[in-house]
């Protein structure tokens, strides 16, 4: 389940319809009604309640879908894997306490724990002023 206040138009989520999960893009939010309109991969728009919306874990596959490229250069601190899209860098660090480092120009954000795709999209927008699709 995702809290609707965490979502913005354009965010990618999993939506449950007739017990099937499918990836889709949030088109619109209706906070007073407690629903989000999601466009699924079959180009169908449906309204969902938060109980039917789920986050997508940020994985290498998802980063590739978001047009990030894996860098061959080792990260500055020597651990993890760096992914870049233009001047924006995502450093995924696994281990005892996984965390993610986001870097754009002169701003760096350290995020404890695993990041979800919609969270990356919202951080990206907050740092670059552009939505990540």
Mean pLDDT for the chain? 91
Which structure tokens are listed for 85? 């899209």
pLDDT one-digit tens code per residue, 22-64: 999 999 999 999 999 999 887 889 999 999 999 999 999 999 9
Task: Tell me the three state secondary structure of residue 63.
Answer: helix
Q: Where are the beta strands (DSSP E) in the chain?
A: 12-17, 20-30, 35-40, 45-48, 53-54, 69-70, 81-85, 88-93, 99-104, 107-112
């Amino acid at each position: 389940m995702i809290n609707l206040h965490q979502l913005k138009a354009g965010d990618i989520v999993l939506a449950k319809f007739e017990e099937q999960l499918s990836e889709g893009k949030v088109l619109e939010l209706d906070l007073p009604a407690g629903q989000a309109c999601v466009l699924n991969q079959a180009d169908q728009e449906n309204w969902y309640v938060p109980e039917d919306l789920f986050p997508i874990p940020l994985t290498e596959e998802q980063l590739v879908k978001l047009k990030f490229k894996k860098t061959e250069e080792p990260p500055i601190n020597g651990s993890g894997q760096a992914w870049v899209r233009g001047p924006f860098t995502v450093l995924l660090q696994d281990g005892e306490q996984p965390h993610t480092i986001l870097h754009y120009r002169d701003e760096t954000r350290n995020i404890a724990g695993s990041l979800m795709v919609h969270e990356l999209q919202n951080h990206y927008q907050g740092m670059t002023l552009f939505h990540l699709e």
